[in-house]
Structure formats: C-alpha cells, structure tokens
Amino acid sequence: MSQPVQPVQPVESADGASAATSAEADLLIIGAGPTGLYAAYYAGFRGLKVAVLDSLPEIGGQITAMYPEKMIYDVAGFPAVKGQDLVDALGAQAGQFDPQYLLGHRAEHLEHGEDFVTVTCDTGLVVTAKVVLISGGIGTFSPRPLPAADAFSGEGVVFFVPRLAELADLDVLIVGGGDSAFDWAMSLEPLAKSVTLVHRRDKFRAHEHTVQRVLASSVEVITSSEVAALHGNGRVESADIVAKLDGATRTVPAQAVVAALGFIADLGPMSRWGLEQRKRHILVDSTMRTNYARVFAAGDIADYDGKVKLIATGFGEAATAVNNAMTVIDPAAKVFPGHSSDSG
C-alpha cells in the first residue's frame, strides 16, 4: 500500500511570514463533506495517496458548519443518525488510511496537464495530483436573507442551528417551508418553550413524512403568511406575522428567529476552471468524469440526467469516481477491485 501524503509544513520566509507550501498526492479530493470523506476512505482502500482540501477549518462540510445536531434519516444502515455522529464515523473510516487533510485552504486555480493536475489555493498552497475529485457540495453558499430582519439591529436571528441546546426554553420562530425548516421544528419541539413555523404559501417543499410529524406535534404552523417585523431591545423579543389573504396581523413571542429560507449556491472559483456546467453544477458522465480526463466530480456538486441529491447517492458516486480514477492513475489497474469483505 502507498504511504500516506506527509503533512504540509509551512516554509518560513526571510521576514518570518509563512511562504507558499506544496503537497503531492495520487488523488486530491476537493471538499471534506460526507462524499469527500467516503471517497478518501475508498481511495485509501485502493492504495492511493490521498489529500483532502477544504476551505472550512473542520471536516464535515455543510453538516459540521450548519447541521451537526440535525437527525438524518435516509443513510443506509442508520434508522436515524445525528449529523456530527455521521461525520465522526466517516472520519474514522477514512482515518484507517491516513489521508492528508489540508483544511482552511480554498481552491482558486486549476491547471489540467497531460499527466497531472495542479491546484493553487488562496493561501498559496499548491497541490499536485494525478487525479482530482471535486466533492464540494453546493460550492460556496450564502443564506437567503429574511427581509423583516433588515430593519432589526438586535441579536437572535440565525440562519441555521449548530447547537440545538442554545435555543432550549425559548420561544422559537422558524421561517420557511423546506426540509431544514421542518427538521429544525421537529428537533426543537421537545426543547423549546414554544415553536412557531411560518410559511408564505400553503404548500411545503419539505418531505411529506416530516411535514405530517410536525403538523401532529405541538408546533404551531402558520401558512400563507409572512414575518413583517421583528421587535426587541438588543435581542429579538417578538415578531409581527401578516396574513397574505386579508392583511391581518398577529404578534407572537420570539426570543429566537430561524430564517430557513434556503441558500444561494455559487461554484466560486471553480466556475472559471473550464468545467462543463449546468445550473451551477458540474456535468459528469457515468464514470463521474468531467470534460477533463483527470478531473472527476461526485456528490451534490455533480450533475447528470436523473440525478437524485442524497447523501446515499454521493457515497455511490464517490466509489464510482475513485474506481474509475484508479485506471487513470494506473492504466494496468482494474475498475472493480473486488469486495472489501474479500480483502481480509
């Protein structure tokens, strides 16, 4: 088995500042979310030197940054698993093969050569790899703003809930009608003093099973309405909710407002790398290969006809990408390595 990539050590410049550093790998994975972590495991299983690059300071991607305590119900083998527990398990699985984590570095430039790919980061780090696998989720993302919060200068308005306990015993107002809004409503219902969910339409984008669970709970669901204003001295204390049909206004207590209105995704620097794209996603073929022979993509950032955006889908795409990348790295290798249970 190949030796793991050695940790990158900063090179001190003459004035004491950190100069550019470099690293080499068989496979560079851009994105340390669930798909990237599983790809790191699978590439290690296939004997590759692996480096994992991410702009965030921790592994886990969006889950660690936004949903560490959110329950996930559609990962095979887990009736339910907390987001951070899934990330920890994926990290332990990949850790068997000692991948090199390059965290806090954002990939800025990509140079695709005949025998290698070079990625240069915003920090000056330069990584050279035989193959690159992009598993960057939705790329960079920023939350959609809550208009009613524009005129409110106090605290208490958040866009995601990394720690559910921070909202315990509070009156919580959740704005939105998607999966995140309903998942947080379901998770906060046993902890908060009260939970009110407001959506501007009478139909929801969330999974029907979750919607029915919330409707059957103590959560108050207000539809066809919008949050018109927030009130409070230093911190939000209440919110005005206006019905779209007749303009009737009611005020509800709220010491915390969760604006779960979705995110605006952007491929960022990757959009300038010459990769074929469709609606801010990278197009791939059935091997997960992009229009560049040595660049693959997997997970939410990858797109093809019939794509289903699930963590479970990303795991399969990661294995497909790594196995097909293996034949690019070593033309004598087989795409299918056999079953892991046969390896001992």
Is 262 within 8 Å of 138 (Cβ atoms)?
no
Structure tokens at 125: 């780090």
* pLDDT < 70 positions in the chain: 1-20, 140-141, 265, 343-344
pLDDT of residue 137: 83
Q: Look up the CATH number of the domain holding residue 78.
A: 3.50.50.60
> Of the residues 236, 261, 286, which one is the last residue of a structural domain?
261
Residue 90 CB-half CA count within 13 A: 28
Residue with tokens 């009608």: 177
299 and 151 assigned to the same domain? no
- Residue stretches of the annotated binding site for FAD: 35, 54, 62, 67, 107, 141, 300, 341
**Domain end: 261, 277, 293, which one?**
261
Alpha-carbon distance of 342 to 338, in angstroms, equals 7
Which of 287, 276, 283 lies closest to 322 in space, CA to CA? Answer: 287
| Domain hosting residue 38, numbered range | 11-141+264-342
pTM for this predicted structure: 0.76
- Tens of pLDDT, residue by residue over 106-163, are 999 999 999 999 999 999 999 999 999 999 887 766 788 899 998 888 899 998 888 8
pLDDT at 311: 94
Is 6 domain-assigned? Answer: no
Of 225, 240, 261, the one marking the end of a domain is 261
Burial of 64 (0-12, 13-18, 19+ CB in 10 A): buried
Longest dimension (CA), the chain: 71
Please give the full DSSP string across 176-217, using - where no structure is assigned: -SSHHHHHHHHHHTTTSSEEEEE-SSSS--S-HHHHHHHHTS
Binding residues, by number, are: 35, 54, 62, 67, 107, 141, 300, 341
Alpha-carbon span 201 to 224, nearest angstrom: 4
105 and 118 assigned to the same domain? yes
Q: Is the same domain home to 36 and 115?
A: yes
Domain identity same for 252 and 281 = no
